[in-house]
A = this chain, B = another copy of it.
């Protein structure tokens, strides 16, 4: 078994060099030098086989996705991503012989490290253990002191908006369960290769009044935001931007349900004071990220403007699926989501 672990070290040797890295891999812990005037932003996410991704997902996608969902939390805080730690639990017996394990690890590492590079994030440590496949990723970012976006700043009158388009996570999962395996399909790409909205989060950090990332589904995450801020919401269902190909794949009703409750979209849900709206749009334009107003915060608690059946419809759909084991948005009730 040790031979495979040697392979892991080969693929995952943390980089000794990187922004603020005084000592990278190879010691008991990494040694980092935070920038002055910045606060640290830290979060952890675990991706478990059969819960967060299918057992036959490509290794490269598993690596990418595990990091992407963790980085998405930094995006929601408006942080700059700096460093990460990766704890991989690997089911070698299930994978097969050494060559299969080696190929799997190489692809997994490619997916993980390519996304690190894209976001100037240095892998500074990790742990590899044997067991049922799961990937725990701790991400660490920085934000100028006092400038982090939180869930609690929304006020009545603020515009409710989302980046990009919704429903791709749920739609992609549905397609995967139907046997689609082409990762260039836009919905499958949205499900298995989500894009953390770090640049958008940074651009909005002195403009938006609150933010979080959509992991559990728009309605569920909006509830988190409403409760933290003490506001209600009036949504315009027709305004919700749907992922490319979603209506074609699922039909209009299921497409809306996927957008409302499917989860795993990893877009940002933000509130923006009306006076800042033009500034917010302008901030995202050069990033090639759309920002779509989908409603407004109101004083009266609760949410209106969406079909009632949509609030729970998607969950039923997933439970009736062929697999019935892994499902989007089911990330448990940990302290950070």
Q: Of the candidates B25, B51, B89, B335, which one forms a contact with A14 in the assembled complex, judged by CB atoms under 8 Å apart?
A: B335
Q: How many monomers of this protein are in the complex?
A: 2
- Is there an interface contact between B132 and A26, defined as CB atoms closer than 8 Å? no
- Is there an interface contact between A83 and B9, defined as CB atoms closer than 8 Å? no
| Distance A131 CA – B14 CA, assembled complex (angstroms) | 27
| Distance A218 CA – B213 CA, assembled complex (angstroms) | 46
Contacts of A332 in B (CB 8 A): 5, 8, 127-130
- Is there an interface contact between A125 and B336, defined as CB atoms closer than 8 Å? yes
Per-residue B-contact encoding for A54-91, CB less than 8 Å = 1, 0 else: 00000000000000000001101101000101111100
Report the nearest B residue to A140, measured CB to CB: B42
**Interface residues in A169-212 (C-beta closer than 8 Å to B):** 211-212
The answer to whether residues A52 and B129 also contact, given A30-B43, A40-B40, A42-B140 and a CB cut-off of 8 A, is yes
- Is there an interface contact between A41 and B26, defined as CB atoms closer than 8 Å? no
Contacts of A85 in B (CB 8 A): 42-44, 138
A6 at the interface (CB under 8 A from B): yes
The segment out of A143-151, A280-288, A292-300 that lies at the interface is A143-151
The segment out of A31-39, A109-117, A243-251, A306-314 that lies at the interface is A31-39
A240 at the interface (CB under 8 A from B): no
Contacts of A140 in B (CB 8 A): 42
- Is there an interface contact between A28 and B83, defined as CB atoms closer than 8 Å? no
Which of A33, A88, A134 has the most chain B CB atoms closer than 10 A to its own CB?
A134
| Distance A87 CA – B88 CA, assembled complex (angstroms) | 12
A165 at the interface (CB under 8 A from B): no
- Is there an interface contact between B337 and A130, defined as CB atoms closer than 8 Å? no
Report the nearest B residue to A12, measured CB to CB: B335
| Distance A44 CA – B42 CA, assembled complex (angstroms) | 13
A50 at the interface (CB under 8 A from B): yes
| Distance A280 CA – B38 CA, assembled complex (angstroms) | 36
Q: Of the candidates B13, B28, B32, B141, which one forms a contact with A213 in the assembled complex, judged by CB atoms under 8 Å apart?
A: B28
| Distance A2 CA – B315 CA, assembled complex (angstroms) | 13
- Is there an interface contact between A31 and B26, defined as CB atoms closer than 8 Å? no
- Is there an interface contact between A336 and B126, defined as CB atoms closer than 8 Å? yes
Per-residue B-contact encoding for A1-35, CB less than 8 Å = 1, 0 else: 01001101100111000000011111111111110
A158 at the interface (CB under 8 A from B): no
- Is there an interface contact between B333 and A48, defined as CB atoms closer than 8 Å? no
A107 at the interface (CB under 8 A from B): no
Query: A88-B334, A130-B330 are known contacts; what are 10 more A-B pairs with Cβ within 8 Å?
Result: A2-B333, A9-B334, A23-B150, A26-B335, A27-B212, A28-B337, A29-B76, A45-B127, A129-B332, A131-B134
